[in-house]
Structure 1
């Protein structure tokens, strides 16, 4: 019999605790432990361009990108074609814009987004990417090669939380943690940095639940033996996933 998942939730606050609470309400023990915190950034020039309807297409790469853009806007979001990398980001973007938001049906990453019909013929289109500081450049590079003029509105930055890795691992082991939900490569890398070498064997045996093949490949490179693709990063969808197959590594 498979052990019941006991999960480490590493995503940003407050989403980590929200997911942990939902899992607990459905019978799954979990610990919320964000590894990064978020600081808002200001870019008045880009904000003015956005408000002045200067973009044909707007792409949000994360819920934080939506949140911190929304905090800076005065009035409603401008009319544009909106796209989101994942369905959790789509849900939040749809809520604040009250407009149709396109997203991939299954591959929730830059590659999935770039495969959408809406981004195939973008020559001379002005595209704004809402993201955090230092995000991945594949979207911008590919869309530029397709003839679009691409700019970034970077509304936040990720800051590592100062944590005692050995103390945390001891707590996680005492709580019988046997899996971890990882929402990005940055979080994945930080988890493996935080856990000292003496705990490598324990870390490698965790079932890592990840949102994309790209993160899965990186997890395997770092030494993870058990990696499972999540269908979505939406909290309700994650709960449904565990209720349906109990976090199977198959």
Structure 2
């Protein structure tokens, strides 16, 4: 019998993927390893987005950034460029009506990161212009720093807060069952990898961690794969960005 597939992405993005995997005949569990919550003070985000048409480019670091921003964007400014690193963020922008020709992203879904996004951007055309980066409360500074070095005037604004869930009795029971079972994990961020290990450490210390380190994990990006391998995971499959590639990797396991 195929292993149970665990989807660990934040709850808002988990259900469509869960339905696709269930349609393959696979058992699926949703276990968000990151909780996404709005910031208590929305004023800085609202102010930045109210002036969106003054920017030449707006970059969104994740689907969560897109969703948080579009609670305050009535209409996308005509002709304005948007930049994203992954297929999920691109799909979120398209769903909110941003034209495909206005979205810049890495051409290779297997290389969905800031480095490859920078290579896809016309940095010379952005020199002297303004760019807005919409992100969580913390994250990599590479995109902002590199744009500034290229002469772009960069503003960043936080749109949401990420946190590892509290180990409640129900979560402890679910984690214990999955650690003891035949399980495949879809881990879509390095934070999720670290959050899983932290929760397992609280649950049953080294024993629970060691059990899950022997299970199969599927990740969409090389940086997440490196995090997982450094954390002791022994069976890591790298797919490239996007749900289609993750689903295809699971079909290979059937």
With the length of structure 2 as denominator, give the TM-score of the two structures.
0.86
Specify every segment of 5 or more residues in structure 2 that has no aligned partner in the other structure, as ranges. none
Q: Is it true that 1:70 corresponds to 2:74 in the alignment?
A: no
Question: Equivalences for 1:162-181 in 2 at 5 Å?
Answer: 162-164=166-168, 166-173=172-179, 175-177=181-183, 179-181=184-186
1:195 & 1:93 partners in 2: Cα distance?
35
CA offsets per residue over residues 207-241 of structure 1, 9 Å max, x none? 2211211111111111111111122233x443234
CA contact (8 A) 2:65 2:135 kept: yes
Instruction: Determine whether 1:191 maps to 2:196.
Output: yes
Quote the Cα distance in structure 1 between the aligned partners of 2:228 and 2:12: 24
Describe the SS at the equivalent of 2:88: helix
Q: Normalising by structure 1, report the TM-score.
A: 0.87
Structure 1: where are the runs of 5+ without partners? Answer: none
Alignment RMSD, CA only? 2.1
Deviating 4+ runs (over 6 angstroms): none
Say which SS state the counterpart of residue 54 (structure 2) adopts. coil
Which protein has the bigger helix share? 2
Q: 1:131: Cα distance to partner?
A: 1.2
User: Structure 1 residues 167, 49: CA separation in 2 closer, same or farther (over 3 Å shift)?
Assistant: closer
- How many residues are paired up? 241
Give the stretch that moved more between structures: 216-225 or 20-29: 20-29
With over 3 angstroms needed to count, the CA separation of the structure-2 counterparts of 1:44 and 1:97, relative to structure 1, is farther
Matched residue, 1:83:
83
Do the aligned partners of residues 101 and 46 (structure 1) sit closer, same or farther apart at CA in structure 2, a change above 3 Å counting?
Answer: same
Report the equivalent of 1:201.
210
State the match for 2:107 in structure 1. 105
Q: Is the 8 A contact 2:49 2:69 kept in 1?
A: no
